[in-house]
């Protein structure tokens, strides 16, 4: 036995030890509690929290079942994706989604996160930004590289340049690195590493130039839209590695980067730093706040008979209100498409030598229904004002425009060039979607009644199918349809306006390739049907570049599709996809759009999504214009005034 005073001492010591070790044990057991309330966390600490949630085979099975149902029955490019055509200028890997899902289910994942990310990555690989899976549980942290890079043309070389540093997340980042050239990353030639990264980590486009632009960060990133998931220096998901090594060379003191005089190069190891979301204290509360779906009862599988869709949750997800952190300036959309909230459009007349040039900066076509009238009024007033001020040339800046409402795009084309015939499009047939469309017609409800095919009444445009070859399969489609903009037009009273001032050659599309969805269709129509030339911005030097991406046609998201099913009373349909067991959403293309052709044949080589349409000329960011969009526009104005970007006839 120990003397009592010692016992007491030990007991007190023991008390301290046990308090300390209980806290440590709690932290070990609960890695989320360890970082809760902190502004930032290290990569490892954030990873420990995200990987705390165990892989669950039931959750995996239910998730995969829903994705498989949607991709098999509704995703219009499912078959062509599995064995795509070879298109010069596009990088299209073959992805058999169903087979990929089988492989994912066969794996014994170490955590739920790893499983969820594998699913997201599989859909990403199709390089169609409309096709996505977003597990919101694992999109709450924001991961930053404290060094943000842009790509600049400097002395005729495209270089990776430090655009800015984020010393608010990592105090060791030095302001003096801004303007330094990054020559190597992780021991590879910097440009090689970046191009590889763009090819392997970015699912935005089939054009690698667009992916390249998407992962770089210009300081004054001038448009609000970003899918915010997979940049070189900014992630919504856990990055693949903890650090990157950057080798930099900085201009000698008192010299400019273009003078090409450098101090000794040096290498820094830069960590990914996680910004921690608010609203959780422990792993359990993290799960409750960000992961748990209203469709998942604690110990119950989702089965058709037990669920009713939780409309509140679907709406929250659909409106993108699922992120605890907003990244300050970067407008986060739940998937790549739409969701931007004004300003939609700006008219800017340039000054000085360029005063005869006006810019129409169209940031988004996602016009909220209550804004439609203002949007059309402002567009026409803008053109009238340009006309009154003697503007002779127009730069139509469509960079970083994620699309939105097809009818808003239609309005812009028609205002400039009177009417354009709509491009042919069709929707993949399935017996399930037939039931949906028939019910929609019966109830005169949901968007499924907005499609028309001349000569077909009611839902017969869908039920009288056509067959085309897609990949190695023969696939059934609806009759060619167009989207009726009647109901859109009914909501606005448009002033009569006829453009007599600007010809096609007076207009120039400017795009960094990140003009997606509706934007892509508008840009392609302007270029292909109205001969408006297009200037590509950025990308990899020496490659020809597309000015638009994911022109697939029209996309839907599970959250809105399920709301449609609820409205139509089709929740119990045996083929209806079940909601995800975790908070998540997916998007897919359901309508495919064709290029204008003299006669419609339904061939996959006529699909816009699988066509390369190159820009006619090109411009790059440089040291002068990268941080100032007005300077970039002035550089573009010089080209348009000199007539140096004529239409190139590729055919």
The residues binding ligand NAG (CB under 6 A) are 34-35, 38, 41, 45, 58, 78-79, 82, 96, 98-99, 186-187, 241, 243, 245, 269, 299, 301, 471-473
Nearest to 292 by CA among 142, 112, 143, 115: 112
Nearest to 295 by CA among 278, 273, 275, 317: 317
* SS3 state at 82: helix
Mapped to the 3 state alphabet, what secondary structure does 550-582 carry? CCCEEEEEHHHHHHHHHHCCCCCCCCCCCCCCE
Residue number with CB closer to ligand NAG (185 or 507) = 185
Q: Which value, in Å, is the radius of gyration of the alpha carbons in the chain?
A: 27
* 273 or 357: CB nearest ligand NAG: 273
Task: Give min distance, CB of 478 to ligand NAG, in A.
Answer: 19
Q: What is the DSSP letter of 186?
A: T
CB of 292 to ligand NAG, least distance (A): 15
Question: What backbone torsions phi and psi does residue 586 show, to the nearest 5 degrees?
Answer: -135, 155
Angle at 387 between CA 381 and CA 388, to 5 degrees: 90
> Which residue lies nearer to ligand NAG by CB, 276 or 406?
276
Residue closer to ligand NAG, measured from CB, 241 or 419: 241
Q: How far apart are alpha carbons 478 and 438 in whole angstroms?
A: 13
Nearest CB to ligand NAG, comparing residues 241 and 493: 241
Q: Hey, CA dihedral for 498, 504, 507, 512, is it positive or negative?
A: positive
Separation between Cα atoms, residue 328 and residue 273, nearest integer Å: 16
* Assigned token pair, 224: 């609000």
Beta bridge partners of 614: 546
- Shortest Cβ 178–ligand NAG spacing (Å): 22
Q: Which residues of 305-328 are buried (b: 16+ CB within 10 A; e: fewer)?
A: eebebbeebbeebbebebbbbeee
CB of 58 to ligand NAG, least distance (A): 5
Task: Find the shortest distance in angstroms from Cβ 147 to ligand NAG.
Answer: 14
**3-class SS of residue 584:** strand
Rounded to the nearest whole angstrom, what is the least distance from the CB of residue 543 to ligand NAG in the complex? Answer: 27
CB 192, CB 540: distance < 8 Å = no
- In angstroms, give the least distance from the CB of 167 to ligand NAG: 17
Q: How far is the CB of 250 from ligand NAG (least distance, A)?
A: 19
Bridge partner residues of 181 (DSSP): 161, 249
Smallest gap from Cβ 470 to ligand NAG, in A, equals: 8
Neighbour-count burial of 155, counting CB atoms closer than 10 A to its CB (0-12 exposed, 13-18 middle, 19+ buried): exposed
Between 186 and 284, name the residue whose CB sits nearer to ligand NAG: 186
Nearer to ligand NAG, 49 or 362 (CB): 49
Closer residue to ligand NAG, CB minimum distance, 287 or 416: 287
For ligand NAG, give the closer residue by CB, 34 or 130.
Answer: 34
58 vs 189, beta carbon nearer ligand NAG: 58
**Residue whose CB is less far from ligand NAG, 198 or 357:** 198
DSSP string, 429-485: --HHHHHHHHHHHHHT-SGGG-EE-TT--TTHHHHS-EEEEETTEEEEE---BEE--
Q: Supply the minimum distance, in Å, between the C-beta of residue 488 and ligand NAG.
A: 35
The 3-class secondary structure across 530-552, one letter per residue, is CCCCEEEECCCCCCCCECCECCC
Output the smallest distance, CB 27 to ligand NAG, in A: 8
Through-space distance between the first and last CA atoms of the chain, rounded to whole angstroms: 97
Exposure of 426 in the CB half-sphere (CA atoms within 13 A): 26
Among positive and negative, which fits the CA dihedral 388, 394, 400, 404? positive
Chain centroid offset of residue 382 CA: 29
The beta strand positions in 155-215, using DSSP E, are: 157-165, 181-185, 188-189
Nearer to ligand NAG, 472 or 498 (CB): 472
Which residues, in sequence order, are CB contacts of 559 under 8 Å at separation 6+?
A: 314, 315, 317, 318, 585
**Which of 495, 457, 463, 456 minimizes the C-alpha distance to 478?**
463
Helix (H, G, I), strand (E, B) or coil at 73: helix
Which residues have C-beta within 8 Å of that of residue 191, sequence separation ≥ 6? 158, 159, 160, 540
CB of 631 to ligand NAG, least distance (A): 36
CB of 275 to ligand NAG, least distance (A): 13
Which of 35/407 has CB closer to ligand NAG?
35
Smallest distance from ligand NAG to CB 302, Å: 9
Nearest-approach distance from CB 81 to ligand NAG, in angstroms: 7
Query: Closer CB to ligand NAG, residue 30 or residue 204?
Result: 30
User: What's the min distance (Å) between Cβ of 621 and ligand NAG?
Assistant: 27
Residue closer to ligand NAG, measured from CB, 122 or 634: 122
Closer CB to ligand NAG, 60 or 562, in the complex: 60
Q: Name the residue among 536, 102, 576, 517 with its Cα closest to residue 303.
A: 576
Which distant-in-sequence residues (6+ apart) come within 8 Å of 28 by Cβ? none
SS3 135: strand
């Amino acid at each position: 036995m120990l003397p009592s005073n010692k016992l007491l001492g030990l007991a007190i010591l023991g008390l301290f030890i046990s308090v300390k070790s209980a806290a440590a044990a709690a932290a070990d057991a609960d890695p989320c509690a360890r970082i809760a309330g902190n502004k930032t966390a290290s990569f490892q600490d954030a990873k420990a929290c995200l990987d705390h949630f165990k892989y669950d085979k039931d959750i995996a099975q239910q998730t995969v079942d829903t994705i498989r149902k949607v991709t098999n029955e509704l995703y219009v490019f499912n078959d062509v994706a599995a064995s795509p055509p070879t298109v010069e200028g596009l990088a299209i890997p073959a992805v058999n989604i169903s087979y990929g899902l089988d492989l994912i289910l066969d794996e014994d994942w170490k955590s739920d996160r790893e499983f969820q990310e594998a699913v997201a990555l599989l859909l990403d690989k199709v390089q169609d930004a409309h096709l996505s899976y977003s597990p919101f549980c694992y999109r709450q942290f924001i991961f930053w590289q404290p060094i943000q890079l842009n790509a600049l043309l400097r002395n005729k070389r495209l270089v990776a340049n430090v655009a800015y540093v984020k010393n608010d997340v990592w105090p060791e980042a030095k302001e003096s690195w801004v303007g330094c050239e990054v020559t190597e990353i992780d021991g590879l030639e910097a440009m090689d590493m970046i191009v590889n990264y763009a090819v392997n980590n970015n699912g935005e486009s089939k054009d690698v130039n667009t992916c390249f632009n998407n992962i770089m960060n210009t300081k004054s990133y001038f448009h609000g839209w970003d899918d915010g998931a997979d940049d070189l220096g900014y992630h919504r998901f856990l990055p693949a590695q903890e650090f990157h090594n950057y080798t930099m060379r900085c201009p000698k003191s008192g010299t400019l980067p273009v003078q090409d005089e450098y101090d000794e190069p040096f290498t820094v190891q830069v960590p990914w730093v996680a910004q921690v979301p608010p609203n959780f204290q422990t792993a359990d509360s993290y799960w409750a706040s960000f992961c748990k779906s209203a469709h998942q009862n604690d110990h119950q599988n989702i089965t058709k008979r037990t669920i009713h869709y939780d409309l509140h949750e679907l709406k929250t997800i659909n409106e993108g209100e699922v992120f605890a952190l907003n990244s300050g300036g970067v407008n986060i959309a739940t998937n790549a498409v739409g969701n931007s909230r004004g300003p939609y459009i700006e008219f800017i007349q340039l000054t000085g030598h360029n005063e005869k040039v006006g810019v129409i900066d169209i940031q988004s076509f996602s016009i909220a229904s209550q804004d439609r009238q203002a949007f059309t009024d402002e567009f026409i007033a803008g053109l009238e004002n340009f006309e009154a001020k003697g503007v002779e040339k127009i730069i139509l800046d469509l960079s970083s425009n994620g699309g939105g409402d097809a009818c808003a795009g239609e309005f812009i084309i028609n205002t400039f060039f009177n009417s354009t015939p709509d491009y042919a499009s069709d929707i993949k047939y399935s017996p399930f979607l037939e039931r949906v469309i028939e019910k929609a017609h019966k109830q005169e409800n949901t968007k499924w009644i907005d499609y028309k095919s001349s000569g077909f009444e009611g839902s017969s445009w869908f039920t009288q199918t056509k067959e085309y070859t897609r990949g190695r399969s023969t696939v059934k489609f609806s009759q060619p349809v167009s989207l009726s903009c009647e109901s859109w037009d009914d909501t606005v009273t448009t002033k009569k306006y006829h453009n007599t001032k600007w010809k096609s050659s007076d207009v120039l599309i400017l795009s960094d390739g990140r003009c997606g969805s509706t934007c892509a269709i508008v840009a392609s129509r302007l270029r292909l049907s109205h001969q408006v030339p297009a200037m590509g911005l950025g990308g990899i030097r020496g490659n020809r570049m597309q000015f638009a991406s994911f022109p697939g046609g029209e996309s839907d998201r599970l959250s809105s599709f399920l709301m449609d099913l609820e409205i139509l009373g089709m929740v119990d349909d045996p083929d209806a996809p079940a909601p995800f067991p975790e908070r998540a959403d997916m998007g897919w293309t359901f309508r495919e759009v064709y290029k204008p052709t003299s006669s419609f044949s339904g061939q996959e080589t006529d699909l816009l999504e699988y066509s390369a349409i190159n820009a006619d000329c090109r411009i790059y960011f440089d040291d002068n214009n990268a941080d100032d969009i007005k300077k970039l526009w002035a550089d573009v104005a010089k080209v348009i005034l000199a007539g140096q970007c004529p239409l190139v006839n590729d055919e």
